[in-house]
């Protein structure tokens, strides 16, 4: 296969410079009142922040409108700043205002002023106002390389293999990340089953158009032939008047989503773009069974029944996103029907090392994320699901926001079922998925990366000024950015299937099921693998990854089985035994850290339980003495050995209700007779 080297960096979209430190270097030792106020009100540092932009949080009285209007209160300072303006971060929307106020989001304001002014000086001026509670510098989003990207060109082998595919999309056979048969063309060490186990899952569900996944990223190419049928459409704007906010959501002409950088329609082909958002979207929901290109995890059957992609654009060409654009995107997704927030970007690993620090330094984004999490946009789920990439720093902890306890952080495995050289791992990481790797097994080939959609013809320029372009609507990329949409896609598949079955779940139940629908990885974390080490091929030790990749690798079939409902586990009365509960806790049950086993008095009485019921070596140790059925609750940690707390990064607590049936005799295969 011909390699097209686009040296332009593959995006792992990062916020830069999140480290804590002095708010700013004081050039003189004396502090005026503004400076002192700023010290107490600033939540982060001005490093790598947007010039000419500042975020302020007003007290409730003024923001609620019961005091003089904001403009009049700050009119003098705005006049002093010259060409300056001040507006709500989240625009007024009649239909969403009540909820917006309930979460206090109406109190966030963005101040824009000349880039020639010193942002700290401006911050001091605003800090001196009593009704300014907090000041947040508007951090810049930057990108980081995880390797080149490669245009896709099918080989003769591709056509030959396509006959065995679930759908008629010709390139599905090259999407090993969905169904890995251990083809050595992908990598010399490719391993059958190192995939998300989609083939059988698709027999149960392949998506539902009522499920909306917000892709917060570069703009998604909504005209892509393999995506356009699964793009979310805002009908009111589609059928409305150009230049007006027809649906009253605060944004004009947001037909397919919104560009929060340029404050306009979604774009994907500006200098600086590389198709990252389009690639991510294709993994979630490229149209299936349309005889064209590739498949998406929840892309439907070719009958308009895939999940829908809402493009929430926070990166636009050379212009990186920032705190304001990302927060706006999160809220927009919540207000316009998305149930899943797919986020392949994040703060650099290590820059933030606790939930408290994240809460303290990026309150605007967290407020918006909490707004999304608490919004019920699906009849299946009582909240919104947020999924972030763990990051590509090769560091022993997740980047944030993925590392935050309420958010799922996704690590990346390669076609050999082993960690990729670039993936973050450790505290804060919750689950793994295929992110692809060009160097698996010590051989360089793009076939080991993730294949998805890109904007054909997009011209890219690398760091050395060399230009190249996609000469195909499909390309390979690698990264936790690519792993993340696999989990988002599987989650969307689960929502689709649950809707079909008429089932409902709490967000905690849904996350617990998702994070336990996995195949075991830890038993493979011994020895070494050949991959990129530094700047050349080499040997990478697997030991550091043991227990650190999350609960295991996501398995779509297992997830849909959990959505259907998990059958009881059978126990034999009259003896103490260890029951395999991997159907509840996942293939990695043996590796999880268990927090507790909760047995009600009624359950203990029903089963006549003797001795302590607890978890040993990943199995449920139980001694029933009476026939009957009862439920017990097992709590565990998804990712790592300790739950994340305010000060310490860690995993997410999950709980599962286990149904037990105790009988006098049980068969080895679980049959009733």
Partner 1 sequence: MKIKNIFKLLIPAVSCLLLLSACNKSPKKADTDISGEWTMVSSDGMDMDEVSVYLSFTQTKEFDLYQKLGEGRYRHYSGTYNLTDNILSGTYKDGSKFADSYLITLEADKTVLIMKSQNGAGLESRYEKSTIPSEVKSESLDVKSSISDNKPLL
Interface ranges with partner 1 (CB under 8 A)? 197, 200, 203, 555, 557-558, 561, 564-570, 573-574, 583, 626-629, 659, 661-673
CB 404 within 8 A of CB 372: no
- Nearest distance from C-beta of residue 526 to partner 1, angstroms: 24
Q: Which residue from 255, 288, 504, 283 is spatially nearest to 387, judged by alpha carbons?
A: 283
Locate 211 and state its tokens: 């499920």
- Nearest distance from C-beta of residue 663 to partner 1, angstroms: 7
Alpha carbons within 13 A on the beta-carbon side of 211: 34
- Nearest distance from C-beta of residue 671 to partner 1, angstroms: 4
3-state per-residue secondary structure call for 270-317: CECECCHHHHHHHHHHCCCCCCCCCCCCCCCCCCCCCCEEEEEEEEEC
- Nearest distance from C-beta of residue 669 to partner 1, angstroms: 4
**349/560 with CB nearer partner 1:** 560
**293/618 with CB nearer partner 1:** 618
- Nearest distance from C-beta of residue 583 to partner 1, angstroms: 4
- Nearest distance from C-beta of residue 200 to partner 1, angstroms: 4
Alpha-carbon distance of 152 to 150, in angstroms, equals: 6
Alpha-carbon distance of 632 to 630, in angstroms, equals: 7
- According to DSSP, the β-strands at 108-112 and 85-88 are antiparallel
- According to DSSP, the β-strands at 459-461 and 467-469 are antiparallel
CB 26 within 8 A of CB 39: no
Q: Which residue from 576, 580, 569, 577 is spatially nearest to 659, judged by alpha carbons?
A: 569
Locate 284 and state its tokens: 């979630």
**172/658 with CB nearer partner 1:** 658
- Nearest distance from C-beta of residue 399 to partner 1, angstroms: 32
Go through the chain and tell me how many residues it has. Answer: 673
Residue 376 burial (CB count, 10 A): 13
**What is the DSSP code (8-state) at residue 225?**
T
Locate 117 and state its tokens: 């002014």
Give the alpha-carbon dihedral of 291, 294, 300, 304, to 10 degrees.
-50
Residue 453, Cα to own-chain centre: how many angstroms? 19
- Nearest distance from C-beta of residue 543 to partner 1, angstroms: 29
**374/577 with CB nearer partner 1:** 577
- Nearest distance from C-beta of residue 587 to partner 1, angstroms: 8
**176/439 with CB nearer partner 1:** 176
Report CA-CA distances (Å) from 395 to 350, 411, 415, 621.
Answer: 8, 11, 21, 36
- According to DSSP, the β-strands at 467-469 and 652-663 are unpaired
**What is the DSSP code (8-state) at residue 655?**
E
- Nearest distance from C-beta of residue 661 to partner 1, angstroms: 6
**99/663 with CB nearer partner 1:** 663
**397/603 with CB nearer partner 1:** 603
My answer on whether omega of the bond before 401 falls inside 30° of 0, hence cis, is yes
**184/203 with CB nearer partner 1:** 203
Q: Which residue from 190, 175, 177, 188 is spatially nearest to 443, judged by alpha carbons?
A: 188
**What is the DSSP code (8-state) at residue 408?**
E
Listed in sequence order, the DSSP H helices in 308-428 are 323-335, 355-361, 363-373
- Nearest distance from C-beta of residue 300 to partner 1, angstroms: 20
Report CA-CA distances (Å) from 151 to 124, 469, 585.
Answer: 49, 8, 39
Strands (DSSP E) along 140-291, which ranges?
141-144, 150-151, 212-218, 257-259
**6/505 with CB nearer partner 1:** 505
Alpha-carbon distance of 58 to 68, in angstroms, equals: 13
- Nearest distance from C-beta of residue 462 to partner 1, angstroms: 43
**25/664 with CB nearer partner 1:** 664
Alpha-carbon distance of 569 to 584, in angstroms, equals: 9
**215/570 with CB nearer partner 1:** 570
**21/567 with CB nearer partner 1:** 567
**449/585 with CB nearer partner 1:** 585
- Nearest distance from C-beta of residue 197 to partner 1, angstroms: 7
């Amino acid at each position: 296969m011909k390699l097209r080297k686009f040296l332009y960096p593959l995006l792992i979209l990062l916020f830069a410079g999140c480290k804590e430190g002095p708010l700013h270097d004081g050039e003189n030792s004396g502090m005026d009142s503004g400076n002192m106020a700023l010290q107490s009100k600033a939540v982060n540092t001005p490093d790598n922040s947007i010039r000419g932009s500042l975020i302020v949080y007003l007290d409730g009285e003024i923001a609620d409108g019961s005091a003089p209007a904001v403009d009049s209160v700050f009119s003098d300072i705005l006049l002093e700043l010259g060409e300056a303006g001040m507006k709500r971060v989240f625009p007024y929307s009649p239909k969403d205002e009540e909820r917006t106020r309930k979460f206090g989001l109406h109190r966030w304001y963005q101040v824009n002023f000349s880039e020639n002014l010193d942002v700290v000086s401006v911050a001091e001026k605003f800090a001196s106002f009593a009704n300014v509670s907090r000041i947040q510098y508007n951090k810049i989003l930057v990108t980081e390389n995880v390797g080149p990207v490669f245009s896709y060109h099918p080989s003769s082998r591709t056509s030959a293999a396509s006959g065995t595919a679930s759908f008629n999309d010709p390139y599905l056979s090259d999407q090993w990340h969905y169904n890995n048969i251990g083809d050595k063309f992908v990598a010399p060490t490719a391993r059958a089953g190192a995939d998300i186990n989609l083939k059988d899952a698709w027999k149960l569900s392949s998506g539902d158009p009522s499920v909306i996944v917000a892709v917060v990223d570069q703009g998604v190419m909504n005209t892509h032939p393999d995506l356009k049928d699964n793009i979310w459409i805002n009908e009111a704007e589609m059928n409305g008047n150009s230049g007006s906010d027809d649906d009253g959501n605060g944004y004009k002409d947001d037909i397919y989503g919104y560009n929060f950088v340029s404050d306009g329609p979604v774009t994907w082909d500006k200098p600086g773009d590389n198709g990252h958002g389009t690639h991510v979207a294709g993994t979630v929901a490229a149209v299936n069974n349309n005889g064209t290109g590739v498949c998406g995890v929840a892309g439907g059957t070719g009958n308009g029944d895939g999940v829908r992609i809402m493009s929430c654009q926070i990166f636009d060409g050379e212009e990186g996103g920032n705190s304001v654009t990302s927060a706006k995107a999160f809220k927009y997704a919540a207000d316009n029907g998305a149930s899943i927030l797919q986020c392949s970007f994040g703060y650099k690993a290590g820059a933030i090392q606790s939930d408290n620090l994240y809460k303290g330094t990026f309150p605007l984004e967290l407020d918006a994320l909490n707004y999304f999490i608490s919004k019920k946009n699906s009849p299946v789920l009582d909240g919104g699901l947020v999924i972030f990439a763990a990051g590509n720093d090769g560091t022993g902890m997740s980047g944030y926001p993925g590392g935050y306890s309420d958010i799922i952080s996704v690590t990346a495995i390669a076609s050999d079922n082993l960690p990729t050289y670039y993936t973050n791992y450790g505290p804060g990481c919750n689950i793994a998925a295929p992110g692809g790797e060009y160097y698996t097994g010590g051989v360089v080939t793009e076939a080991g990366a993730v294949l998805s959609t890109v904007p054909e013809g997009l011209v890219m320029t690398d760091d050395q000024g060399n230009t190249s372009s996609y000469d195909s609507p499909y390309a390979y990329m690698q990264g936790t950015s690519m792993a993340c949409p696999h989990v988002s896609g599987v989650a969307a598949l689960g929502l689709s299937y649950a809707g079909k079955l008429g089932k409902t779940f709490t967000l905690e139940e849904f996350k617990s099921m998702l994070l336990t629908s996995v195949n075991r990885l830890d038993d493979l974390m011994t020895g070494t693998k050949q991959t990129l080490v530094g700047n050349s091929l080499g040997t990478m030790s697997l030991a550091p990854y043991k227990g650190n990749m999350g609960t295991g690798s996501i398995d779509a079939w297992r997830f849909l089985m959990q959505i259907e409902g998990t059958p009881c586990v059978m126990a034999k009365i009259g003896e103490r035994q260890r029951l395999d509960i991997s159907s509840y806790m996942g293939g990695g049950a043996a590796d999880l850290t268990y927090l507790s086993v909760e047995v009600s008095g009624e359950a203990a009485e029903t089963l006549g339980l003797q001795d302590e019921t607890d978890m040993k070596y990943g199995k449920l140790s139980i001694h029933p003495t009476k026939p009957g059925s009862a439920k017990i609750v097992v709590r565990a940690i998804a990712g790592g050995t300790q739950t994340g707390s305010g000060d310490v990064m860690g995993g997410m607590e999950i709980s599962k209700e286990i149904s037990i049936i105790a009988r006098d005799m049980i068969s080895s295969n679980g049959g009733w007779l």
